[in-house]
Amino acid sequence: MTRFRNPVLPGCHPDPSICRVGGDFYLVTSTFEWFPGLPVFHSRDLVHWRQLGHALDRPGQLPLDGVPASGGLYAPTLRHHALPGQEGLFYLICTLVDGPEWSGHFVMTASDPAGPWSDAHRLDGEGIDPSLFFDDDGRAWCTGTRLTGRYEGHTEIWLREFDPSALALTGDEHVIWDGAVKGAIWSEGSHLYKVGGRYLLLTAEGGTAREHAVMAARADAVTGPYEGNPRNPVLTHRDLGAGHPIVGTGHADLVETPDGEWWMVLLGMRPHHGDRCVLGRETFLAPVTWEDGWPVTGGRVEPRPGFPSLPPHPWPAVPSCDQFDGPEPAMAWNMLRTPRERWWSLDERPGHLRLRVRPESLADVANPSFLGRRQQHPDFAAFTSLDFVPADEEWAGLALVQNNDFHVVLVSTSQGLRLVKREQGIETVLAKAPASPGPVRLGFEAHGRWYQASYSAGPGGAVEPGGWTRLGDPVDGDLLSSQVAGGFTGAYIGLYATSNGRASGNHADFAWFEYRPL
C-alpha cells in the first residue's frame, strides 16, 4: 500500500477547511495576526498541496492594525456554490477577533480561488467559527459559536439562514447544539453536511489542546433537533497519552472525492519536548468511512496513512533557497499585521531583499520590518547573507518569532553581532561577537528543542563548507512554543531590521534566504 506522511501541511496551518470542485480540492487555514492572510491551497490528490495565493492580500480588504498576538483571523470556512444561472463562486467566511475598528464575522467571494478576492463583507452574528452550508433545496445556512456564560467554556452552536446574493444573514436564529457530553466545553468549529438525506453536524470540543476532539450529531431537519453520535467522539487523541507523536486533534472538515471516498482534514500538533509544540497546529488528513449513517475514522490520526484512491499528483518542489529575483516576495513570506507603507523592496538592489530600518520592533504590537516564513520541521537549518552598515541602536538579521514577548534574534549591530532572546517581555543578550566589515552570513540550526546560532564573515552560500562559527550555546526553543508563550500560533523564522524606536533612513540588504529540513 502506498502511504503518505502526515501532516499534509506542516507548520502553523490550523483550522483547515476544504471543498471540492470537480477533481480539484481547495483548502484554507487560519492566520491570526499575519499578513497576507488566509492562504488558499490546491490539490488533486488530497496529499500534495500547492499554494495559490491569499484571500487577504490587500491592505484595504480588512484591517489588522494593532491586532494582538493570536488575535486576528480565526477559523475560516471555504465553500463553492453556483447561484441559478450564474457561474460558481467561492465563499470564504471567517471571524476578525480584536480588530482595530471592528470585530466579528465577514464573508469574501472569488470566482477564482487564486484571487482576486473581494473586500470583507461584514455579517451580524455573535462569537467565532462561522461556517456555510448550501442545501440541495437552494437555501443556504450559516452556523457559529458563542459563549453562553452558564459555566466557564460553555458554548452553543447557532444557525441562521444566509442569503448568498445579498451576502447577509436573514431570518430567525436557532440554537442547535451545545456539546456532545455533559459539562462540555468549547463546542466550536461547526460544519454542516447532508449525507444520506440527513443533516450531519460536525464540531470540535474540549478546547484546542490535549483534550481536543471531533464530535458528530445529526437531524432530519437542518434546524434540528440534533441527536449526538452515541460513539462520540468521532476522533480524539486525548486517550493516547502524553508520549504520542500527534496530539490535540480536532477542528475537522469533511470532503468527498469524485469516486465516493470520504476524507477528513483536521488540525493536530507534534510535540518536540514534553508537551511543547513549537510548530503550532498543523493540517492532517484522515480517511473516513460510514456506519449506520455516522462517520468513522478509526479513532486516531496515523503518521503514515494509506494514500487516497486518487492518482498521485505532486507539484514542482518549491526551491529551498529564495534568491529574491522576483517582483514580489514569494507566497511563503508573511509579515505581522497590515502594512501601511512599503518598507521592503526587491528592485532597489536587484537580486536582494531590501528592508527599511524603521523604529518599529518585534516587541511592538505593530508592523515591523520583518518578513517571516513558518517553521515547518522540528529539525531544520536556515541561513541568509546580510549586507548592512548599522548606526547606533540599529539591528538587522535573522529572527525566530512566536510573538512580541517571546522571540530570538541574531543581529548585526554597531557593536558587532548579538544573539538576543526576549522572554516574557524581558530581553537578554545571550552572546556577542566582534563586528567585521562587509557582508556576513547568519544562520540557525534547530534540533528539536535546541536552536544553535552561527555566523560566517563574507558573502557566499549557506552550504559552502568552512568558515562558520557558533555564537553562544544552543537556545532553548521552549520559549517559542504556545505552551510557554501562550496563544494559538506556531513559530516563524525570517529577516528583520529595526532602529529600536529611533528615526532612521538606513536599510538592510539580504542576498538570499535558505530554509531546509534536516
The active-site residue, picked from 15, 156, 478, 509, is 15
Question: Tell me, what's the pLDDT at 465?
Answer: 55
The whole-number average pLDDT for the span 390-397 is 98
Question: Tell me, what's the pLDDT at 83?
Answer: 81
Question: Tell me, what's the pLDDT at 37?
Answer: 99
Which cell numbers in the block locate residue 289? 468511512
The whole-number average pLDDT for the span 128-145 is 98
Q: What is the DSSP string of 241-303?
A: -TT-SSEEEEEEEEEE-TTS-EEEEEEEE--SBTTB-TT-SEEEEEEEEEETTEEE--BS--S
Active site (annotated) includes residue 188: yes
Question: Tell me, what's the pLDDT at 462?
Answer: 61
The whole-number average pLDDT for the span 486-513 is 98
Pick the closest to residue 372 from 68, 33, 94 (CA basis). 33
The whole-number average pLDDT for the span 468-479 is 97
pLDDT class for 458, splitting at 50, 70, 90? confident
Residue 354 has pLDDT above 80, yes or no: yes
Q: How far apart are CA 50 and CA 36, in angstroms?
A: 16
Residue 53 has pLDDT above 60, yes or no: yes
Question: Tell me, what's the pLDDT at 461?
Answer: 65
Structural domains of the chain sorted by starting position, each given as residue range(s) with its CATH number in brackets = 17-296 (2.115.10.20), 321-517 (2.60.120.200)
The whole-number average pLDDT for the span 118-133 is 98
DSSP-based helix, strand, coil % in the chain, nearest 5: 0, 50, 50
Residue 466 has pLDDT above 70, yes or no: no
Residue 298 has pLDDT above 90, yes or no: no
The active-site residue, picked from 156, 188, 322, 509, is 188
The whole-number average pLDDT for the span 82-108 is 94
CB atoms within 10 A of CB 121: 14
- Mean pLDDT of all residues belonging to the chain: 96
pLDDT class for 464, splitting at 50, 70, 90? low
The whole-number average pLDDT for the span 105-128 is 98
First to last CA, the chain: 27
The whole-number average pLDDT for the span 462-472 is 77
Pick the closest to residue 355 from 333, 370, 334 (CA basis). 370
Active site (annotated) includes residue 302: no
What is this structure's pTM?
0.97
CB atoms within 10 A of CB 261: 15
> pLDDT for 422-451, tens place per residue?
999 999 999 999 988 889 999 999 999 999
